[in-house]
Amino acid sequence: MNLTAKAPSGTHGFITEYLTPEETALHLRCSALTLAKWRQRGYGPKWKRIGPQRIGYHVADVNAFLNRAS
């Protein structure tokens, strides 16, 4: 199952390439807390700090993680 980014109206493309931890958790069928623990342990999909208090998961990295896990 591959994810595709959908552009919300009024965005310029950058935000649409990244999923929030909550959106990523829904696709991975886990909790956002689980994702936070994975980040601490160096596991899970690659992530990026996209703001002072924002974490983003690139759609391609989530897809790659899903493909490795299956």
Domain borders along the chain are 17-69
Q: Which two tokens stand for residue 57?
A: 């998961």
**φ, ψ dihedrals at 8, nearest 5°:** -65, 150
Q: Is the pLDDT higher at 54 or at 3?
A: 54
**φ, ψ dihedrals at 66, nearest 5°:** -60, -40
With cut-offs at 50, 70 and 90, classify the pLDDT of residue 4. low
31 residue type, one letter: S
Q: Which two tokens stand for residue 67?
A: 């493909």
The predicted pLDDT at position 9 comes to 45
What percent of the chain stands above pLDDT 90? 70
Q: Which two tokens stand for residue 13?
A: 């493309």
Least Cα distance to 47 among 8, 9, 20, 15 occurs for 20
pLDDT tens digit string along 12-44? Answer: 544 568 999 999 999 999 999 999 999 999 999
